[in-house]
Protein backbone atom coordinates (compact mmCIF):
# COMPACT_ATOMS: atom_id res chain seq x y z
CA UNK A 1 0.00 0.00 0.00
CA UNK A 2 2.84 2.39 0.83
CA UNK A 3 4.49 1.76 -2.56
CA UNK A 4 1.12 2.24 -4.28
CA UNK A 5 0.66 5.59 -2.51
CA UNK A 6 4.17 6.86 -3.35
CA UNK A 7 3.83 5.95 -7.04
CA UNK A 8 0.45 7.70 -7.13
CA UNK A 9 2.01 10.84 -5.65
CA UNK A 10 4.56 10.83 -8.48
CA UNK A 11 2.13 10.00 -11.29
CA UNK A 12 -0.65 12.45 -10.37
CA UNK A 13 1.33 15.66 -11.00
CA UNK A 14 2.85 14.19 -14.18
CA UNK A 15 -0.60 13.24 -15.44
CA UNK A 16 -2.02 16.63 -14.45
CA UNK A 17 0.70 18.35 -16.48
CA UNK A 18 -0.30 16.54 -19.67
CA UNK A 19 -4.03 16.92 -19.03
CA UNK A 20 -4.12 20.62 -18.14
CA UNK A 21 -1.44 22.02 -20.46
CA UNK A 22 -1.82 22.54 -24.21
CA UNK A 23 1.72 23.15 -25.46
CA UNK A 24 2.29 22.88 -29.23
CA UNK A 25 -1.39 22.34 -30.03
CA UNK A 26 -1.70 19.50 -27.53
CA UNK A 27 1.20 17.64 -29.15
CA UNK A 28 2.67 16.64 -25.77
CA UNK A 29 -0.72 15.23 -24.75
CA UNK A 30 -0.84 13.29 -28.02
CA UNK A 31 2.63 11.81 -27.44
CA UNK A 32 1.91 10.83 -23.83
CA UNK A 33 -1.40 9.32 -24.88
CA UNK A 34 0.25 7.30 -27.66
CA UNK A 35 2.92 5.95 -25.30
CA UNK A 36 0.22 4.71 -22.90
CA UNK A 37 -1.71 3.06 -25.75
CA UNK A 38 1.38 1.23 -27.03
CA UNK A 39 2.33 0.03 -23.55
CA UNK A 40 -1.20 -1.35 -23.07
CA UNK A 41 -0.88 -3.37 -26.27
CA UNK A 42 2.57 -4.60 -25.22
CA UNK A 43 1.24 -5.78 -21.86
CA UNK A 44 -1.68 -7.62 -23.44
CA UNK A 45 0.73 -9.27 -25.90
CA UNK A 46 2.85 -10.45 -22.94
CA UNK A 47 -0.20 -11.87 -21.16
CA UNK A 48 -1.28 -13.83 -24.24
CA UNK A 49 2.15 -15.17 -25.03
CA UNK A 50 2.41 -16.59 -21.50
CA UNK A 51 -0.37 -18.96 -22.54
CA UNK A 52 1.21 -19.78 -25.87
CA UNK A 53 -1.09 -17.61 -27.96
CA UNK A 54 -0.03 -15.00 -30.50
CA UNK A 55 -0.82 -11.29 -30.40
CA UNK A 56 -0.06 -9.21 -33.49
CA UNK A 57 1.83 -6.56 -31.57
CA UNK A 58 3.66 -4.88 -34.43
CA UNK A 59 0.55 -4.75 -36.59
CA UNK A 60 -1.52 -3.35 -33.74
CA UNK A 61 1.18 -0.86 -32.72
CA UNK A 62 1.48 0.57 -36.24
CA UNK A 63 -2.28 0.76 -36.80
CA UNK A 64 -2.97 2.20 -33.33
CA UNK A 65 -0.29 4.85 -33.97
CA UNK A 66 -1.86 5.75 -37.31
CA UNK A 67 -5.36 5.83 -35.84
CA UNK A 68 -4.28 7.98 -32.89
CA UNK A 69 -2.50 10.32 -35.30
CA UNK A 70 -5.67 10.59 -37.40
CA UNK A 71 -7.63 11.60 -34.29
CA UNK A 72 -5.01 14.21 -33.47
CA UNK A 73 -4.94 15.65 -37.01
CA UNK A 74 -8.75 15.71 -37.07
CA UNK A 75 -8.71 17.56 -33.74
CA UNK A 76 -6.51 20.19 -35.42
CA UNK A 77 -9.09 20.44 -38.24
CA UNK A 78 -6.56 19.30 -40.85
CA UNK A 79 -9.43 17.50 -42.57
CA UNK A 80 -13.18 17.31 -42.09
CA UNK A 81 -15.39 14.63 -40.56
CA UNK A 82 -15.92 12.85 -43.86
CA UNK A 83 -12.21 12.24 -44.41
CA UNK A 84 -11.84 11.23 -40.78
CA UNK A 85 -14.50 8.55 -41.18
CA UNK A 86 -12.84 7.27 -44.36
CA UNK A 87 -9.46 7.01 -42.58
CA UNK A 88 -10.98 5.17 -39.63
CA UNK A 89 -12.83 2.71 -41.85
CA UNK A 90 -9.64 2.14 -43.85
CA UNK A 91 -7.55 1.45 -40.73
CA UNK A 92 -10.19 -0.84 -39.23
CA UNK A 93 -10.39 -2.75 -42.52
CA UNK A 94 -6.59 -3.05 -42.61
CA UNK A 95 -6.63 -4.35 -39.06
CA UNK A 96 -9.00 -7.16 -40.08
CA UNK A 97 -7.29 -7.92 -43.38
CA UNK A 98 -3.72 -7.97 -42.08
CA UNK A 99 -4.41 -9.96 -38.91
CA UNK A 100 -6.51 -12.54 -40.79
CA UNK A 101 -3.81 -12.87 -43.46
CA UNK A 102 -1.00 -13.25 -40.92
CA UNK A 103 -3.00 -15.74 -38.88
CA UNK A 104 -3.63 -17.84 -41.99
CA UNK A 105 0.15 -18.21 -42.32
CA UNK A 106 0.56 -19.60 -38.80
CA UNK A 107 -0.99 -23.00 -39.45
CA UNK A 108 -2.32 -23.31 -35.86
CA UNK A 109 -5.98 -22.88 -36.59
CA UNK A 110 -7.20 -24.09 -33.20
CA UNK A 111 -5.76 -20.89 -31.67
CA UNK A 112 -7.00 -18.61 -34.44
CA UNK A 113 -10.19 -17.32 -32.72
CA UNK A 114 -8.22 -16.18 -29.65
CA UNK A 115 -5.32 -14.72 -31.64
CA UNK A 116 -7.60 -12.82 -33.99
CA UNK A 117 -10.17 -11.82 -31.38
CA UNK A 118 -7.71 -10.33 -28.91
CA UNK A 119 -5.69 -8.46 -31.54
CA UNK A 120 -8.79 -6.94 -33.12
CA UNK A 121 -10.40 -6.17 -29.76
CA UNK A 122 -7.31 -4.33 -28.52
CA UNK A 123 -7.11 -2.34 -31.77
CA UNK A 124 -10.71 -1.23 -31.29
CA UNK A 125 -10.16 -0.36 -27.62
CA UNK A 126 -6.84 1.49 -27.97
CA UNK A 127 -7.13 2.70 -31.55
CA UNK A 128 -10.80 3.76 -31.71
CA UNK A 129 -12.32 4.06 -28.23
CA UNK A 130 -9.40 5.44 -26.22
CA UNK A 131 -8.47 8.31 -28.60
CA UNK A 132 -11.76 10.05 -27.91
CA UNK A 133 -9.72 11.65 -25.12
CA UNK A 134 -7.78 13.51 -27.84
CA UNK A 135 -11.01 14.96 -29.22
CA UNK A 136 -12.09 15.97 -25.71
CA UNK A 137 -8.73 17.69 -25.18
CA UNK A 138 -9.09 19.60 -28.46
CA UNK A 139 -12.65 20.62 -27.60
CA UNK A 140 -11.52 22.19 -24.33
CA UNK A 141 -7.82 23.03 -24.18
CA UNK A 142 -8.02 23.67 -20.43
CA UNK A 143 -8.27 19.90 -19.94
CA UNK A 144 -11.56 19.99 -18.06
CA UNK A 145 -13.27 17.55 -20.43
CA UNK A 146 -10.34 15.13 -20.17
CA UNK A 147 -10.18 15.49 -16.41
CA UNK A 148 -13.83 14.53 -15.91
CA UNK A 149 -13.82 10.95 -17.33
CA UNK A 150 -10.36 10.21 -15.91
CA UNK A 151 -11.13 11.53 -12.45
CA UNK A 152 -14.62 10.03 -12.19
CA UNK A 153 -13.42 6.64 -13.44
CA UNK A 154 -10.40 6.45 -11.17
CA UNK A 155 -12.11 7.83 -8.07
CA UNK A 156 -14.86 5.26 -8.62
CA UNK A 157 -12.26 2.49 -8.91
CA UNK A 158 -10.67 3.63 -5.66
CA UNK A 159 -14.06 3.79 -3.95
CA UNK A 160 -14.87 0.26 -5.08
CA UNK A 161 -11.49 -1.02 -3.92
CA UNK A 162 -11.76 0.38 -0.40
CA UNK A 163 -15.48 -0.44 -0.05
CA UNK A 164 -14.72 -4.03 -1.03
CA UNK A 165 -11.81 -4.24 1.40
CA UNK A 166 -13.69 -2.72 4.32
CA UNK A 167 -17.24 -3.96 3.85
CA UNK A 168 -17.13 -6.67 1.18
CA UNK A 169 -18.98 -9.73 2.45
CA UNK A 170 -21.14 -10.79 -0.50
CA UNK A 171 -18.85 -12.09 -3.23
CA UNK A 172 -19.97 -12.34 -6.84
CA UNK A 173 -18.23 -15.64 -7.51
CA UNK A 174 -19.83 -16.04 -10.95
CA UNK A 175 -17.79 -13.12 -12.29
CA UNK A 176 -14.34 -13.48 -13.86
CA UNK A 177 -12.91 -11.79 -10.78
CA UNK A 178 -14.28 -13.82 -7.83
CA UNK A 179 -13.08 -11.31 -5.24
CA UNK A 180 -15.53 -8.69 -6.50
CA UNK A 181 -18.33 -7.99 -4.05
CA UNK A 182 -21.73 -6.33 -4.08
CA UNK A 183 -20.40 -3.83 -1.55
CA UNK A 184 -17.44 -3.05 -3.81
CA UNK A 185 -19.68 -2.22 -6.77
CA UNK A 186 -21.95 -0.20 -4.51
CA UNK A 187 -18.82 1.70 -3.46
CA UNK A 188 -17.96 2.40 -7.12
CA UNK A 189 -21.40 3.89 -7.74
CA UNK A 190 -21.62 5.83 -4.46
CA UNK A 191 -18.15 7.38 -4.69
CA UNK A 192 -18.57 8.21 -8.40
CA UNK A 193 -21.89 9.96 -7.75
CA UNK A 194 -20.39 11.85 -4.80
CA UNK A 195 -17.51 12.91 -7.06
CA UNK A 196 -19.93 14.12 -9.76
CA UNK A 197 -21.58 16.37 -7.19
CA UNK A 198 -18.14 17.76 -6.38
CA UNK A 199 -17.42 18.28 -10.09
CA UNK A 200 -20.75 20.09 -10.43
CA UNK A 201 -19.54 22.46 -7.72
CA UNK A 202 -16.18 22.92 -9.45
CA UNK A 203 -17.98 23.74 -12.69
CA UNK A 204 -19.91 26.51 -10.97
CA UNK A 205 -16.88 27.81 -9.09
CA UNK A 206 -14.35 27.88 -11.93
CA UNK A 207 -16.78 28.70 -14.78
CA UNK A 208 -15.64 25.76 -16.90
CA UNK A 209 -16.51 25.11 -20.55
CA UNK A 210 -19.53 23.01 -19.53
CA UNK A 211 -22.77 24.17 -18.00
CA UNK A 212 -24.23 20.81 -17.06
CA UNK A 213 -27.06 20.47 -14.59
CA UNK A 214 -26.66 18.33 -11.49
CA UNK A 215 -28.98 15.74 -13.04
CA UNK A 216 -26.76 15.57 -16.15
CA UNK A 217 -23.67 15.14 -13.99
CA UNK A 218 -25.35 12.33 -12.05
CA UNK A 219 -26.30 10.61 -15.32
CA UNK A 220 -22.68 10.85 -16.49
CA UNK A 221 -21.55 9.44 -13.16
CA UNK A 222 -23.89 6.44 -13.38
CA UNK A 223 -22.88 5.61 -16.95
CA UNK A 224 -19.16 6.03 -16.23
CA UNK A 225 -19.38 3.76 -13.18
CA UNK A 226 -21.14 1.07 -15.25
CA UNK A 227 -18.79 1.33 -18.24
CA UNK A 228 -15.72 1.48 -16.00
CA UNK A 229 -16.81 -1.61 -14.06
CA UNK A 230 -17.29 -3.52 -17.32
CA UNK A 231 -13.79 -2.46 -18.40
CA UNK A 232 -12.36 -3.66 -15.09
CA UNK A 233 -14.10 -7.01 -15.51
CA UNK A 234 -12.83 -7.31 -19.08
CA UNK A 235 -9.24 -6.89 -17.93
CA UNK A 236 -9.82 -9.26 -15.00
CA UNK A 237 -11.04 -11.86 -17.49
CA UNK A 238 -7.85 -11.56 -19.54
CA UNK A 239 -5.61 -11.69 -16.47
CA UNK A 240 -7.46 -14.64 -14.93
CA UNK A 241 -7.28 -16.52 -18.21
CA UNK A 242 -3.54 -15.87 -18.48
CA UNK A 243 -3.03 -16.68 -14.76
CA UNK A 244 -1.46 -13.26 -14.05
CA UNK A 245 -2.07 -11.02 -11.05
CA UNK A 246 -1.18 -7.79 -12.90
CA UNK A 247 -0.91 -6.84 -16.56
CA UNK A 248 2.66 -5.63 -15.99
CA UNK A 249 5.12 -4.25 -13.47
CA UNK A 250 5.97 -0.84 -14.93
CA UNK A 251 3.99 0.96 -12.22
CA UNK A 252 5.04 -0.49 -8.84
CA UNK A 253 2.07 -1.06 -6.57
CA UNK A 254 -0.35 -0.47 -9.45
CA UNK A 255 0.69 -3.19 -11.91
CA UNK A 256 0.86 -2.05 -15.51
CA UNK A 257 -0.71 0.57 -17.74
CA UNK A 258 -3.54 -1.79 -18.64
CA UNK A 259 -4.32 -2.13 -14.93
CA UNK A 260 -4.61 1.64 -14.63
CA UNK A 261 -6.49 2.34 -17.85
CA UNK A 262 -8.73 -0.73 -18.22
CA UNK A 263 -11.81 1.13 -16.97
CA UNK A 264 -10.90 4.30 -18.85
CA UNK A 265 -10.82 2.42 -22.18
CA UNK A 266 -14.53 1.72 -21.74
CA UNK A 267 -15.72 4.84 -19.92
CA UNK A 268 -14.13 7.37 -22.32
CA UNK A 269 -16.30 6.66 -25.40
CA UNK A 270 -19.41 6.46 -23.19
CA UNK A 271 -18.59 9.85 -21.67
CA UNK A 272 -17.92 11.37 -25.10
CA UNK A 273 -21.15 10.07 -26.65
CA UNK A 274 -23.35 11.15 -23.72
CA UNK A 275 -21.68 14.57 -23.69
CA UNK A 276 -22.47 14.98 -27.40
CA UNK A 277 -26.09 13.92 -26.81
CA UNK A 278 -26.23 16.65 -24.16
CA UNK A 279 -25.21 19.21 -26.76
CA UNK A 280 -21.45 19.61 -26.06
Q: How far apart are CA 134 and CA 85, in angstroms?
A: 16
Is residue 218 over pLDDT 90? yes
Nearest CA-CA partner of 149 in 69, 86, 157, 79: 157
Mean pLDDT in residue range 75-79: 96
CA angle 199, 257, 195 (to 5 degrees): 15
Mean pLDDT in residue range 107-113: 78
Greatest mean pLDDT among 40-49, 98-107, 110-119: 40-49
Mean pLDDT in residue range 64-76: 98
Structure confidence at residue 173 (pLDDT): 65
* Residue where one domain finishes, among candidates 117, 140, 163: 140
Query: How much of the chain exceeds pLDDT 90, in percent?
Result: 69
Any domain includes 251: yes
Give the alpha-carbon dihedral of 150, 164, 266, 71, to 10 degrees.
20
* Residue where one domain finishes, among candidates 108, 140, 172: 140
* Least confident piece of the model among 61-70, 101-110, 206-215, 269-278: 101-110
In this structure, are 128 and 32 located in the same domain?
A: yes
Q: Note the pLDDT tens digit of each residue in 6-28.
A: 878 888 999 999 999 998 999 99
In this structure, are 176 and 254 located in the same domain?
A: yes
Structure confidence at residue 174 (pLDDT): 57
Q: By three-state DSSP, how is residue 132 classified?
A: helix
Any domain includes 246: yes
Domain range for 263: 142-280
In this structure, are 114 and 57 located in the same domain?
A: yes
Mean pLDDT in residue range 210-229: 96
* Residue where one domain finishes, among candidates 109, 140, 171: 140
Structure confidence at residue 175 (pLDDT): 60
Any domain includes 6: no
Is residue 50 over pLDDT 80? yes
Q: How far apart are CA 201 and CA 46, in angstroms?
A: 43
Q: Are 275 and 133 in contact (CB under 8 A)?
A: no
In this structure, are 198 and 121 located in the same domain?
A: no
Mean pLDDT over the full length of the chain = 91
Q: Note the pLDDT tens digit of each residue in 155-196.
A: 999 999 888 888 867 777 656 666 788 888 999 999 999 999
Is residue 76 over pLDDT 70? yes
Q: What is the pTM of this model?
A: 0.94
Mean pLDDT in residue range 28-54: 93
Amino acid sequence: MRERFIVALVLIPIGAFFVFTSFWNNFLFFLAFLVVSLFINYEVASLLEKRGFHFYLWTNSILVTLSTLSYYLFSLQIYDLGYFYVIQILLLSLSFLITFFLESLQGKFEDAPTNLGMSLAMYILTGIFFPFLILLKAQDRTGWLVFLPLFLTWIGDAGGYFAGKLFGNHKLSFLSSPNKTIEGYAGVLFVTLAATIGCFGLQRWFHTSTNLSLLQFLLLGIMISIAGSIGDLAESTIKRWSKAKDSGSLLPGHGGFFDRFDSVLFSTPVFYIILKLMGY
